[in-house]
Structure 1
Amino acid sequence: MTKPFIIPLLFFINSACAQTNTELKPGDTLKYSPRSDKPAWIAVQSGDANLAVSLFINGKKIKEQDDSRGIKSVERLYFSPEKGRKYELRIWAKSYLEKSKPVQVSIVESKNIQVLKDQFTPDQFVEDLHIFHSIRDKANSGLYVYRSKKQIDSIYQQAELEAQNCKTIFDFYKVIAKLTGFEGSCHNYTDLPNHASYYLTQKPEYLPVTLKNIDGRLLQDSKEVAVPLGAEVLSINGIPAKEMISRFSQYYFSDGFSAPYKETTGFERGMLDKFYIEFGTHKNYKISYRWNGKINEISLPGISLDNAKKLQESRHSLFFDKKLLSEKYSFTKEGEGMYRLSVRGFDFATSKDDPAYKKFSIFLDQMINTLEKENVKNLIVDLRGNTGGTGALYEKVFSYLAPRPFRDSHYAYTNFNEVPMEEKLIITPLFLSNGVTDKKGLNTYLKDLYPKDVQGKYYWADDKNPSILPNEKTFKGQLYLLVDQRVASAASHLASLIKSYTNAVVIGKETVGGYYEHNGHLPLVYELPNTGIQTGFSIVHVIQDAQNLPDQKKGQGVIPHVEVHQTDQEFLEQTDVYLKKVGELQKPSKV
């Protein structure tokens, strides 16, 4: 029989309907049947692990949730039962501290919930800042790639002054998010222990419009709201659009100094949390906008968080993105003598032994045979929206395009092959899926991959970085490479090889992933002991197999030869301006 225990909940429960305390062993799944026969909130929490939950109705899973990533975080969902249906909650440990064993779980059903109210002292914020600095100094091989030690020391001195004046976890999160972005890696990660919306008001005080950053202009992105679809929003509550873009961008990270991703992605991914961390929630929103050449102003009441979610999930621009990202990869004919290979991610196979890798290889063989059979002269490689994944997949793609042998990198190294500060280390789902359950297993893995110690740097083993030969058949016609600001990691690595060694005309936006180098391969995540904020980064610094090019400077993503821009009308019509640009380049010039 499980012994009851007491766990300090991070929020106040109003009118608790039921509370259950139990134990969860590593690798097990806890099943729980809700007790309430009326609508209620279910909150699940552990002091020792980050929990994930899924809701089943009559044995069928209808929802899976891991909104909060911290070890002491809360997962909460609204439960509205119907007669005649059987409900079941399944709970498992998604990640845990390296030292953790079986964990204690609290499940609370209540009619209402209040916002999370964490209380911290300035000394606790400063202590977490010092630990944050130590973690990155000891474990992050990318810390001094784009910044000097003098620059890093200076920004941390300023951060300590700011930490001493922090009042809330949001204040402190802003401080270390700025530090995280300053380093310059798109694999960097720093986030709150609980989803930001859990700290925010439950009142109708959320922005009643959605926004899309188009080349530095904020366009209203929702139909059937008071501000016209496509209107340029100039300011909200007196904050100019340029300031919103700048302040919002500090929560998103890129390799080196690349800016397009940081400046655009918040309006697509952060409008339900980070927007309100930075700008707060309000009862009313005073919106200034330009429409049909005239500047208008309107005051609109805030809306509920649920309605804000619905607005964000139905925004106008999302239709194009859903269509674009609907398939992981495809091969389509785009006109006479023109085909397009689209690859939207490299996360559909884990290695060369994965059956999905073999299926992809057959697909690429069929592609090259079609190109050869039809004597196709033009091939578009479309990587838009591709945030990366497995290196073996991008290498496979390039083998069909490469004019010469290539390697993943000139060399790659980490600062250690025994993990430092393991008491703060989080055992993540990535580790668990590879059979690594503790620091001992991780150290064994590191020593195998990075055995060579040269002046305090541990280099990638030569047998892990072989020379890769081009495929027996390669495409020898004209290439067009489509990239946008979301292209990262393995995808930007592929883009750098294509730009470096082929005749490709690169079209689009600067990638978030670097051209010459990046930190990648293996991410580690640590948790700060007081606030529970998690921070992570990829520990391996990779010098990519890319040539020096005059239009590529250190710290840049892959720079396109031809930039694309979208007009207001093209935004309204959801025109694919990338393919349009390829068509324009195909047209013979007039004499």
Structure 2
Amino acid sequence: MTKTAYFLILFSILPSLLFAQSIDDAFSQEKMRKDLEVFKEIRLKTNSGLYKYRTAQQIDSIYNWANMQIDKSSTYRDFYNIILQLTDFEGSVHNNTSIREKLNQSLRAEKKGYFPYPIKWIEGEWIINFEKGEIPLGSEIISINNEKIEDIIKKLYKYYTTDGINKTGKQIGINYSFSKYYRLNYGLTDTFLVKYKKNKSSKINEITIKSIGYKNYYVNVKNRFSKPYDDVNYKDWKDNEIYIYKSIGKETGVLTINSFSMGNEEDSRHLKYVSFLDSVFTAIKKNDIKNLIVDVRYNGGGTDPNDLVTYSYLTDRNFSENKQAWISFKKIPHLKYIESKIPSFLRFLGVGKYNKWFQKEFYTEKENRFYQGPLSEDHKIRTPNKQAFKGKIYLLISPRIASAGSLFASMVAGNSNTTVIGEETMGGYYGHNGHTPFTYILPKSKISTSFSIVNLEQDVPKEKNQAYNRGIIPDFNVNQNFEDYLNQKDTQMNFTLDLIKKNSSE
């Protein structure tokens, strides 16, 4: 064997020796502590949202908890779950923590250990959302392996981040990936003892079911009973599906906006959307539409200024995107850990232009915060469009709404002529961390951790029913009921149409 061939083989073997190939592999507490220290330093110096919803005492307390958890931990999965708990505790929908792709590949290759059936939250209960399994469709789950389902769900919250202390948004992830989350939290499980109640029965039944593999679970998810109704929560919207307007009768219109991902001012998709809005609201005014249903239930965000342009047709006030925005650094911290293809020892050569941009954009320093200047586009004062709607607005919201979607929905919800219907959003009413995502790689575990660095205060009025650390709270809390679940009906839209009919007759 030549020396060159020897080194090629050696370097191909080294990665598998250095890094875990399964999330259940052993991982030393020494490495955990090193990565925890790095993770905390990154958060303290870079993440302006660290204390958005938590006090310094609370943050110190959870890091003390993390240190104590390491004392009880021995595997890569143990440490990953600790980092996930810290990530979720901060309360930002833009937070994300993930394992290396090779470990994801090993999860996808697992042939057993996964709970077989997708589940769904309906009317305060977690039910079986699969029609051809051993447990009847719609059965309420009481416990799995002698642990109450509500206790299990609380442990799985950390896998799907939302703004503040919002919980409804976490249902989006749990409804789809319950089995994966269960596996990440509890490890591989051969069998599951399930206690359940059939629909409209008080009798508790018990059954032991065998586990299945990762891929087979997601086959069942694709065949879940509710897919025809709730697939809108998970799909990537095609250009011709993003927005639509239709009339219902002579006095009511429905404007549906499923995303704001239509590019910036120069993008042809944005220009087409602006033209669509102008034609729609011209027609609304001409036809004397009195009630406008604005349906953004499946809008997870997108790009500026699509959200702001849309709001200009739904308001009678001058407004801006943000009241204020700030970051927590003058120069990008911890360059050697930031995700980049450039070797760490060379990164200082290219970072100068980015630091100059941050210093130009966030130039007002106050109490170790760097605020966006008043000339920023984000603080530009915008005016209502001449065709702005002046009738009654019925805003439909859901846990799916986040980021630019929740910014838009918050502004509309703050209007005096708006009635909000649906479920609390995962995106915050008063603000969020957004705009500029940073990703860091922890040195020992190679866990990737991402967050948005700009702390935003949205231009919305203070409302008694809106809490600082929650999503948008509806005026009418309306969830899909069990009967409508079985019949794939839209409870929220039907409620809204009935409310309009009632209001019109008064």
* Shorter-chain TM-score above 0.5: yes
Q: Is the Cα contact below 8 Å between 1:395 and 1:494 reproduced in 2?
A: yes
Distance 1:474 1:405 in 2: 12
Distance 1:531 1:363, change over 3 A: same
1:434-583 correspondence runs (5 A): 438-464=350-376, 465-583=379-497
Segments of structure 2 that go 5 or more residues without pairing to the other structure are 342-348
For 1:310, the equivalent position in structure 2 comes to 219
Write out aligned runs for 1:423-434 (5 A). Answer: 423-427=336-340
CA deviation after TM superposition for structure 1 residue 332, in Å: 2.0
CA–CA separation in structure 1 for the residues paired with 2:242 and 2:327: 31
Shift of 1:391: 2.5
- Counterpart residue number, 1:408: 321
Larger RCO (alpha carbons 8 Å, 6+ apart): 2
Tell which deviates more after alignment, 124-133 or 288-297. Answer: 288-297
Deviations 1:535-564 (A, max 9, x none): 121111111111111111221211100001
The residue type equivalent to 1:360 in the other structure is Y
CA-to-aligned-CA distance 1:393-446 (integer Å, 9 cap, x gap): 100110101111100111111112311011111149xxxxxxxx9533432332
Q: Are 1:587 and 2:496 counterparts?
A: no
Q: Does 1:354 align with 2:267?
A: yes
Aligned CA distance change for structure 1 residues 583 and 518 (closer, same or farther; 3 Å) = same
Q: How many angstroms does 1:247 deviate by?
A: 1.1
How many Å separate the matches in 1 of 2:134 and 2:16? Answer: 36
Structure 2 residue aligned with 1:258, among 158, 166, 175?
166
1:534 aligned partner, one-letter code: S
Is 2:49 the counterpart of 1:142?
yes
Per-residue deviation, residues 46-67 of structure 1 (Å, max 9, x unmatched):
x9xxxxxxxxxxxxxxxxxxxx
For normalisation by structure 2, the TM-score amounts to 0.89
Identify the residue that residue 187 of structure 2 maps to in structure 1: 280
Amino acid at match of 1:224: K
Task: Please report how far the alpha carbon of residue 157 of structure 1 lies from its aligned counterpart in structure 2 after TM superposition.
Answer: 1.2
Q: Is the 8 A contact 1:140 1:538 kept in 2?
A: yes
Counterpart-to-counterpart distance in 1, 2:358 and 2:179: 38
Query: Secondary structure of 1:476's match?
Result: coil
**Cα distance change on mapping 1:256 and 1:204 into 2, 3 Å:** closer
Match of 2:283 in 1: 370
- Structure 1 residue 528: Cα displacement: 0.4
Contact 1:204 1:302 in 2 (8 A): yes
- State how far apart, in whole Å, the 1-side matches of 2:165 and 2:232 are: 30
Question: How big is the shift at 1:118?
Answer: 4.7
Counterpart of 1:556 in 2: which secondary structure? coil
Q: Contact (CA 8 Å) 2:115, 2:179: kept in 1 or not? A: no
Contact 2:142 2:195 in 1 (8 A): yes
Structure 1 residues 457 and 528, CA gap change in structure 2 (3 angstroms): same
Number of residue pairs matched by the alignment: 483
Amino acid in structure 1 at the alignment position of 2:497: G
Candidates 267, 277, 286, aligned match of 2:174 = 267
Considering fraction of residues, name the structure with more helix. 2
State whether residues 117 and 199 of structure 1, in contact with CA within 8 Å, keep that contact through their aligned partners in structure 2: no
CA distance in 1, matches of 2:248, 2:36: 53
Say whether residues 1:329 and 2:229 are aligned partners. Answer: no
Instruction: Select the residue among 228, 238, 244 that pairs with 1:319.
Output: 228
* Paired amino acid for 2:106: Y
Give yes or no for contact 1:427–1:438 (8 Å, CA) kept in 2: no
User: How far does the alpha carbon of each residue in 1:346-396 deviate from its partner, in whole angstroms, 9 at most, with x for none?
Assistant: 1231x1111111011001011101211211111111111211121311001
Q: State the one-letter code of the partner of 2:61.
A: S
RMSD: 2.5
CA distance in 2 between counterparts of 1:238 and 1:9 reads: 42
1:196–1:273 contact (8 Å) kept in structure 2: no
The one-letter code sitting in structure 2 at the alignment partner of 1:225 is G
Matched, 1:338 2:246: no
Q: Is 1:417 equivalent to 2:302 in the alignment?
A: no
C-alpha deviation, 1:115, in angstroms = 4.7
> Following the alignment from structure 1 to structure 2, what is the Cα–Cα distance between the partners of residues 272 and 236?
12
Between the two proteins, what is the percent identity of the paired residues? 32
Contact 2:291 2:500 in 1 (8 A): no
Q: Alpha-carbon deviation of 1:155? A: 1.3
Contact 2:24/2:77, CA 8 A, preserved across alignment:
no
* CA shift for structure 1 position 197: 6.2
Distance 1:444 1:273, change over 3 A: farther
- Counterpart CA distance in 1 for 2:308 and 2:337 is 35
Contact 2:244–2:255, Cα closer than 8 Å, also in 1: yes
8 Å contact from structure 1 (residues 417, 458) kept in 2 = yes
Residue 213 of structure 1: CA displacement?
A: 1.7
SS at match of 2:207: strand
Matched, 1:177 2:84: yes
Counterpart of 1:306 in 2: which secondary structure?
helix
User: d(CA) in 2 for partners of 1:10 and 1:507?
Assistant: 52
Which runs of structure 2 are paired with 1:45-64 in the superposition (5 Å)? none
Tell me, in whole angstroms, the C-alpha distance in 2 between the residues paired with 1:461 and 1:473: 31
| TM-score under structure 1 length normalisation | 0.77
* Distance in 1 of aligned mates of 2:327 and 2:86: 21
Do the aligned residues in 2 keep the contact of 1:508 with 1:564 (CA within 8 Å)? yes
